[in-house]
Amino acid sequence: MARISTPFLGIFLLVLLCCYASNMVQAAGYPAYKDPKRPIGARIKDLMKRMTLEEKIGQMVQIERVNATAQIMKQFYIGSVLSGGGSVPAPKATPRQWIDTVNKIQKGALATRLGIPMIYGIDAVHGHNNVDPQLIKKIGIATAHEVRATGIPYAFAPCIAVCRDPRWGRCYESYSEDPKIVQMMTEIISGDKVAACAKHYVGDGGTVKGINENDTIVSQHELYSIHMPAYYNSIIRGVSTIMASYSSLNGVKMHANQELLTGFLKNRLKFRGFIISDWQGIDKITSPPHSNYTYSIQASILAGVDMVMGPYNVTEFVDDLTNLINKNFIPLSRIDDAVRRILRVKFSMGLFENPLADNSLADMLGAQEHREIAREAVRKSLVLLKNGKSAYTGPILPLPKKAPKILVAGTNADNLGYQCGGWTIEWQGLSGNNLTSGTTILKAIKDTVDPSTQVVYNENPDTAFITSNDYAYAIVVVGEQPYAETNGDNLKLTLPAPGPDTIKNVCSHIKCVVVVVSGRPLVIEPYLESMDALVAAWLPGTEGQGVADVLFGDYGFTGKLARTWFKRVDQLPMNVGDAHYDPLFPFGFGLTTQPIKQM
């Protein structure tokens, strides 16, 4: 008879004891899905067995914050809530106010029969990100901390669109026209403890004429070599969710594209997270939108959409989807797949164990260390396009800090809202310096120059003003006003007035550096000859000091164009590698300077 040694006997008995204890817990009514020691798959299976159809459908719904009352959360078993652009608990809400808002909604979800926590989402995508992957990873972690500081665990970012036409109003959300750069920038997904959302799947950056939500007409090779690669990287990096695009692909609405949502993304790439619709995205399957909502629900859910961002029409969605299931137009297996994916994300994030937010990260919102990361990103993303009118005159940058008097001009020099662009506090952005805390470029210049240097600011000076003063040099800051999405679509891409006149007036009389603040390249060639230097600042955000850091030589210019700078808009679309490639400044271009050693 074989004998069991004492150590192994002890282990064997311990295992039996654990199994017995676990069974006793189950027998006592403690559900397995609430046991964090159990595998996630087992917890999902246990919870799914307990859920009614109404509870499953509720998990597939994401509504806007303003509608997320405790009663609505309990009545419809809502699975997710979001803040749309500009939807805040209060103007300039504090972390405490955000946390209280999110927790109040969460308590409504936890009060349901099964106590399934909701997941709260918000947009955290912003700016033209022309920096290295290592810095992007730091930005991702800082952004995650700031999102968590407000009690929110889910960010609708990154946007991994490959913008192939700068006329597109969302081009500043894209990293580059080059899919390889966009792939590298998926490093941002490594942000700490926040569920990421890769968007917008797929091809949204390649629409005809850059028109938002338009049709992307591409070959299979172009689709899989240009627009798809960053999704491979995102899935490898463990992205939790992917958002379907408003746009169509070769005439098929992406929200109804079963071949690419289910066939390719879920089955071929083995994506295990959930697919979420864009804001009222399923409504737009039909034209006009919402004209046949029952069809839109059927088409999108069968195509593979798991969670529907239907911010307002909760009852209509729930009733229509229930009828479609009861009449066998949508199989219950499709609903189970969607709910299983949503629950997997929630379990993986630890929401069942820690559903409520706390104040532990409140001090991280706007933290100085995060501002320093943003300032570094500004410095490294600036691209020096011209430095000196000719080889004989020599470079003008970096500028001397000590001068008797200098002129600062332009609409974008003293406007924090213009520096930040769209998706800042409000969906479309704002003008002025009161929307958030930060440093304008004008303020940064004043803080950087020698105390003896007089800085004169005039937004749009006339010739008399310019010639009646003896300026050592001028810094002209011009560019776009804020916009987002369709409101930013622009078939002309001209430099907004009075920018051209400001450049002409100033640069024809004084040595001048022109700084362009924009979300994309603009028509600049007609004014280029008059400039001594030209800097693309993109959207530097709140940390305008990063611009002054490089203008005055505390740091050198190192940035390179991640996007082709065209000569004329009739050249578009024009991307590196095209047969008709004839840019003003080519992809990858960027002059460099050396920092000045300070005494």
Rounded to whole angstroms, the Cα distance separating 375 from 381 reads: 10
Q: Which CATH class is domain 368-585?
A: alpha beta
Query: In DSSP terms, which residues pair with 479 in a beta bridge?
Result: 517
Beta carbons of 174 and 143 less than 8 angstroms apart: no
Give the per-residue pLDDT at 130. 57
Residue boundaries of the structural domains of the chain? 55-364, 368-585
pLDDT at 131: 62
Quote the CA–CA distance of 397 and 551 in Å, as a whole number: 7
Burial of 393: CB neighbours in 10 Å, binned 0-12, 13-18, 19+ = exposed
Is 283 a catalytic site residue?
A: no
Q: Alpha-carbon distance 178 to 238, whole Å?
A: 22
pLDDT value for 161: 98
CA-CA-CA-CA torsion for 10, 12, 15, 19, nearest 10 degrees?
-120
Residue 68's alpha-carbon distances to 51, 60, 86, in angstroms, are: 21, 15, 16
The three-state secondary structure class of 576 is: coil
User: What's the confidence (pLDDT) of residue 311?
Assistant: 83
| Partners of 63 in beta bridges | 81
- Whether the CB-CB separation of 352 and 33 falls below 8 Å is answered with yes
Q: What per-residue confidence (pLDDT) applies to 285?
A: 98
Quick check: helix, strand or coil at residue 308?
strand
Residue 191: per-residue pLDDT: 54
Residue 512 parent element (H or E): strand 512-517
Locate tokens 């529907």: which residue? 308
What is the spatial distance between Cα 176 and Cα 162, in angstroms, rounded to a whole number?
A: 6
CA-CA distance, 152 to 466, in Å (whole number)?
A: 50
Q: Which CATH architecture has domain 55-364?
A: Alpha-Beta Barrel (3.20)
| Nearest by Cα to 483 from 542, 431, 561 | 431
**DSSP designation for 509:** T
Residue 26: predicted pLDDT: 54
Taken in order 525, 527, 529, 532, the sign of the CA dihedral is: negative
- Give CA–CA dist 577/174, Å, rounded: 19
Q: Could you tell me the mean pLDDT of each successive run of 10 residues in the chain, 599 residues long?
A: 42 47 54 97 98 98 95 97 90 91 96 98 67 80 87 93 98 97 90 85 98 98 98 96 98 98 98 98 98 98 97 93 98 98 97 91 84 95 95 91 98 98 93 94 98 98 93 98 98 98 97 98 98 98 97 98 98 98 98 84
Among the listed residues 55, 485, 489, 543, the single catalytic one is 485
Catalytic residue among 55, 204, 278, 283: 278
Instruction: Give the separation between CA 72 and CA 350, rounded to whole angstroms.
Output: 24
Q: Are the beta carbons of 22 and 14 closer than 8 angstroms?
A: no
Residue 106: name the closest of 139, 149, 140, 153 by CA: 153
* Rounded distance between C-alpha atoms, residue 55 and residue 66, angstroms: 21
The pair of three-digit structure tokens given for residue 363, joined into one six-digit string: 């001090």
Distance CA 60, CA 122 (A): 17
Enumerate the β-bridge partners of residue 80. Answer: 62, 119
Residue 322: its H or E element: helix 314-326
Q: What is the pLDDT of residue 16?
A: 46
> Known catalytic residue: 485?
yes
Same fold, 55-364 and 368-585: no
Q: Taking a C-beta distance cutoff of 8 angstroms, is the pair 281, 267 a contact?
A: no
**pTM for this prediction:** 0.93
**Closest among 463, 458, 457 to 444, alpha carbons compared:** 457
**Residue 152 to residues 98, 116, 223, 296, 346: CA-CA distances in angstroms?**
8, 16, 34, 30, 13
Look up tokens 């403890």; give the residue: 193
Bridge-based pairing of strands 154-155 and 119-122 is parallel
Q: What is the gyration radius of the CA atoms in the chain, in angstroms?
A: 27
The residues, any chain, with a CB within 8 Å of residue 502's CB and separated by 6 or more, are: 409, 410, 411, 459, 460, 461, 476, 478
What is the three-class DSSP state of 303? helix
Pull the structure tokens for residue 232: 């491979």
